Each structure stands twice: as C-alpha cells, then as structure tokens.
Structure 1
C-alpha cells in the first residue's frame, strides 16, 4: 500500500502513529472516504466542504489549507496502478499531553491512503438493531474517528443475517444505516430522514437533494412498510437497492429509480 503521511510518501508498513496521538487514544479526529474514478475525485467539492465544516466544529486546522488533494490522490493512484480507488483521508488531532484537554498549540496529522474500489452490491438487506443514534451526538453529525457505534451496529446486523444495520434516532425516527444514507419512494414521492434525526450529511445525499424534489422529515419505521423502492447511498457504492428489512421483502423489490442513477453518473 502506498501511503501519504504529513507530506511524505511511505511504503507499506512504514507509516507509524505516535503513542500519544489523540486520534489513536481518544478518537479525536475526522475522516473522509472519496471515490476516485476516471482520473478524478467524484464530488470532491462536496467532500471538501463537509471536511471544512467538520474541522470547524471540532476546532481542528483543516489540511486542505496546506495540501493539494487532487494532486496527491492522482499521484497516489498512479503509484498504486489504480484506475478506480477508494481514497481515505484521515485527520487526527495529533500528539498531545495525557487527558481530555487538547493542547492549545498542536499540528493535526493527515494520512491519505488508496485501496482498490470495491464492487458495489447489486442489492442489500437491512436489519433493525438495538443501538440508537443520539440527536445531540457530534459523532452522528460528523465523520469522526469515534466510529464504534457504527461498527457495533454492523456486527449486530450481520448476526441477524443482514448486510447492513438500519438505525433509528433516540426519538424512534428513521436515521439511516451504519454507513449510508436512507431513501425511499412512496406514492410516487422521494423521502429521506432530515438531518435533525442524527443523520450524517452524505455527499451523495446532497447530490440527490440538489437535483430532485425530496421530502425531508421525521419518519417512523412504518414509513418503509409500503414503499415502492428503498435504497441506500454513500460515496463509494453510489445508490444500492434494499430488497429486505429484517428478513421481509422491502421496496416491492424495485430498483433504484433511474432519475437517481442519472444524477450519480
């Protein structure tokens, strides 16, 4: 694996994390996952806007002020021989003294890696899980390094025989899945949970909202019961149809609407 770490190109196994790194010890940091295809990063502006907003919320210096992301990723893909890649930018708060208080002066650490782009599944099944997303949680609204809730939700879903977890917020409203935003078509209209339901503002979600008429709101799980189509979205897989929820058929086995797919091409 080719790695870019704080301005240096490193080989497989050469990148190291200091023992006092706050991202390692406390999950104090952020990440972005981007899709590289056709010689460019898809929806790069949206990813950069979200990263800047999250850096401001977490009071971290944004690495985009000192690096040229496109140039780094382009060189990384060339070094790795990848025409399509899953790019991960990981930003940690860097080294700091022991304890919760972050040093007033500190330089965040930025790590960028590339991996072969995984093939998107033709469809996916969801399972309701016991974990609930807090509407007041920073980790629900930003892609923080504190991702344990998502990992635990996925484990519970897999044990239930599903591929992904369906999550509600603490008020019982639909929120999304462990790694994707949720959409459905009902009565000819397109719906998605509002950001107030502990929803991560996904870049594919934003593209759909910008290009189509979508009703956002607080919805209970029964909103999916008679949906004509249910699908999930994220940066790597685009939009994928949901064919089952808790083992029962979902979305009348309908594919992702053509109008949505056309927006994402």
Structure 2
C-alpha cells in the first residue's frame, strides 16, 4: 500500500508519525472517509466542508481544497493501481509539547490512504445496544479521533458483519448505528434522529435527506424512541462506504429489507449520482 504523508508518497512500512503528535497524545484530529467510483470521489466537496469545519473547531491551521486533494487522490490511485477505492483523509494536530494547549496548531500532520472497497452487504440485521451514545465533546459531534464509544458498541455487538448495533442516548432516544446513520419509513414519511441527539451529521445522511426531499418525500428529523423504529414499515442505515443498507429486522421485528419500496427507490437514484456529484447541492429535483 502506498499512502500520502505530509507531501510525500510513501509505502505503509515507511510511514512515520511523531509520538508527540497531539492527534496521538490527545485525540486532536479529524478525518473523512469516502468512496472513489471510477476515479470520481463522490461528494468530496461536502466531505471537505465538514473536515474544514472540524479543523477550525480544533484550532488546527490547515486549509483543504478540492484541487489539492484531487492531486493527492490521483497520485495514490496511480501508485496503488486502483480505480475504485475506500479513502481516508486524516488531519491531526501535529507535534507539540506535552500538555494541553490553548493556542492554534501551526504544523498539522496530513495523512491520506486508500484500499480496495470492502464487501458491501445487501441487507443487515440490527440490535439495540446497552452502551449509550455519549454526548459530543463540544456543541456537535466531530468526525474526530475520539472513537471509544463506538469501540464499546462494536465490542458489545461482536464481529458479525451482518449485524449493526443501534445506539440510544442516555435519555432513551434513538441515535445512530456504530458507524452509520439511521432512517426508517412509516406511511409516507421518512424519519431520522435529529443532530441534537448527539449523532454524527453524516455526509451520506445529508445527501439522503436532500435526495428524499427532491423526490417529494416528507422527511422528519427529531427525537424518537425505539418503539417508533420497531413500528416502521422499512428501515435502513447509511454511511459513505456502504451507501444505503436496508435492515431486515430489528430485535427480531421483521422489516421489508431490500424489498422496501422507498429504500429501493433511494438506492436506485443514489446509484445514478455517485460517479459525478461533488456535493448534495447538485441534486436535480425530481430525477
């Protein structure tokens, strides 16, 4: 595997990051994962907006733009012999003194790597986790290095790739999957937990909301309980690598899975966009 590290293309074995990088010492770093479809990085602009917002929040002085990232991506695609890829773009605070700083980080560490797309399942089951979704460190949840809550959830649910764990907040509201956002359909409405429940505001989540609205669906974001999900007609989870994954059952409550008409329609339209869109704002109404 070849990866990008601070301006150089290096092999995995030769990649070195300082043990005094505050991304390692204190979790000061953010990242994005996205897919390459035939050389096109789907929704890259939306990922870069979220990444930049996170960098600004953590006081990491780094500007990211499409041209810069595309040069890195194209070099890595060539070096690794890939056209379809999973990409992780990571920016950590960089080397600093031991201790908690209050100022800006001036020299961040930039790491980009890619690999083949992992197997994407057509359907999954879901179970509610006993581990509660923790609250964000700040006003909103960043896609940061702080992943212990997710790891606790993964340990609870186990390694079966066919099963996703669903977090509830400590107040009992539906939140999200371990590495996914949650949606369900009841009647003619599409529901998803509000960002204020402490979930990650996923790029694919926002794309699906915009996509659903463009085809006339009534989308509701709010505070919901497990019973709302269990009483739904169909449900699915989303993330940037697996796209839209239907749920066949939740806690032994059977759903339509991949036969759900709303899920199928959203999957179909999603597939039409993924080789050319840079942002959700480019969605054409009523496609």
Q: TM-score, normalised to structure 1's length?
A: 0.92
Q: CA deviation at 1:170?
A: 2.4
> In the alignment, does 2:263 pair up with 1:257?
yes
2:130 alignment partner in structure 1: 130
1:225 alignment partner in structure 2: 230
Whether contact under 8 Å (1:96, 1:106) holds in the other structure is: no
2:275 alignment partner in structure 1: none
1:149 alignment partner in structure 2: 149
Q: CA deviation at 1:161?
A: 9.4
* Alpha-carbon displacement from aligned partner over 1:151-197 (angstroms, at most 9, x marks no partner): 11011011799622100122211111110000000112111001101
Q: 1:105 to 1:114 in 2, by over 3 A?
A: closer
Give the stretch that moved more between structures: 161-170 or 37-46: 161-170
Q: CA deviation at 1:125?
A: 1.6
Q: Secondary structure at the match of 1:132?
A: coil
Q: 1:257 to 1:94 in 2, by over 3 A?
A: same
Q: CA deviation at 1:39?
A: 1.2
Q: Residues 1-265 of structure 1: matches in 2 within 5 Å?
A: 1-64=1-64, 68-101=68-101, 104=104, 106-138=106-138, 141-158=141-158, 163-212=163-212, 213-246=218-251, 248-253=252-257, 254-255=259-260, 257-265=263-271
Q: Which structure shows the bigger proportion of residues in strand conformation?
A: 1
Q: CA deviation at 1:250?
A: 3.6
In structure 2, the gaps of 5 or more residues are 213-217, 272-287
Provide the C-alpha distance between the structure 2 equivalents of 1:227 and 1:66, rounded to a whole number of angstroms.
39
Q: TM-score, normalised to structure 2's length?
A: 0.85
Moved over 3 A (4+): 102-105, 134-140, 159-162, 252-256
Aligned positions, number:
264
Provide the C-alpha distance between the structure 1 equivalents of 2:44 and 2:255, rounded to a whole number of angstroms.
31
Give the stretch that moved more between structures: 89-98 or 134-143: 134-143
Provide the C-alpha distance between the structure 2 equivalents of 1:140 and 1:233, rounded to a whole number of angstroms.
19
Provide the C-alpha distance between the structure 1 equivalents of 2:139 and 2:28, rounded to a whole number of angstroms.
10
Provide the C-alpha distance between the structure 1 equivalents of 2:83 and 2:102, rounded to a whole number of angstroms.
40
CA RMSD after TM alignment: 2.1
Whether contact under 8 Å (1:133, 1:140) holds in the other structure is: no
Q: 1:59 to 1:161 in 2, by over 3 A?
A: closer
Provide the C-alpha distance between the structure 2 equivalents of 1:50 and 1:116, rounded to a whole number of angstroms.
24
Whether contact under 8 Å (1:139, 1:146) holds in the other structure is: no
Provide the C-alpha distance between the structure 2 equivalents of 1:233 and 1:195, rounded to a whole number of angstroms.
15
Q: Secondary structure at the match of 1:13?
A: helix
In structure 1, the gaps of 5 or more residues are none
